[in-house]
Amino acid sequence: MFFNLPTLLTWARILAIPLIVGVFYLDVHQSTRNLTATVLFVAVALTDWADGYLARKLNMTSSFGAFLDPVADKILVCASLLILLQQDRVDTFVALVIIGREIAISALREWMAHIGASRSVAVHMLGKVKTTVQMIAIPFLLYDGVLFGSINTLAWGRWLIWIAAALTIWSMIYYLQKALPEIRAKAR
C-alpha cells in the first residue's frame, strides 16, 4: 500500500533528511548543530528498523514499501556524507566509494529487474552489515565530540566509516559476481 503505517514512516525518513542537512546552516554554536543533527539522524535511522518491523508484524508489506525503504536509506546516507564532507569529517575517497556504490548497485538492480533476474541481486546479509556500520559511523561523525569523557567520536567515526567503505567495496563485488552470469546469458 502507498500509505500504510510502515510506508508513512519511510516517507517521514525521507522528509526528515532536509532537517538534518539544514541544521548545519543554522546560526547556532557548532556543538548545538552537531548534537541536533546526531539526534535527528539516530531518530530517523531508527524508523528504518521500525518500518520493517511493523510491516512484518502488521502484515503490511508491499512492493512499494520494499522499493521505497532502500531509497530512503540511500538518500539519508548520501546526504549525511555530503554534509560530513563539507564539514571535513569524512575523506573524499570514502564518500565517493560509498555514494558511487549506491548508484552502481541501484542501476544494477534496475537492469536485473529489466531482464527478469532481480533475485540474483536481492539484498544479502553483507549489504545489511555495511548499512549497519554506516548507520553507526555517521552519528559518531555528526557528533564530533567526546562522549562519556573518553570516547572521541570523530576518531571512532572515521575508523568505522573506513570499515563501511571496505564493506561497501566487498558487497559491490559480491553483487556484481551474482549478476554476472545473468548478464552474460542475456548478452548472447
pLDDT at 187 (0 to 100): 67
pLDDT at 23 (0 to 100): 95
Contacts of 158 (CB under 8 A, 6+ apart): 89, 90, 91, 141
pLDDT at 2 (0 to 100): 67
pLDDT at 3 (0 to 100): 79
Is residue 131's pLDDT more than 70? yes
Query: Which 8-state DSSP code applies to residue 124?
Result: -
Q: Which domains does the chain have, with CATH numbers?
A: 5-187 (1.20.120.1760)
- Residue 42, class by beta-carbon neighbours within 10 Å (0-12 exposed, 13-18 middle, 19+ buried)? middle
What is the torsional sign of CA 103, 105, 106, 110? positive
pLDDT at 159 (0 to 100): 97
Cα separation, 102 vs 108, in Å, equals 10
The Cβ-side half-sphere exposure at 67, using a 13 Å CA radius, reads 8
pLDDT at 122 (0 to 100): 65
Cα separation, 126 vs 121, in Å, equals 12
pLDDT tens, 12-69?
A: 999 999 999 999 999 999 999 999 999 999 999 998 888 877 778 888 777 777 778 8
pLDDT at 67 (0 to 100): 78
Query: Of 143, 138, 132, 142, which is closest to residue 168 (Cα–Cα)?
Result: 132
Which pLDDT band, with edges at 50, 70 and 90, does 1 fall under?
A: low
Cα separation, 91 vs 106, in Å, equals 23
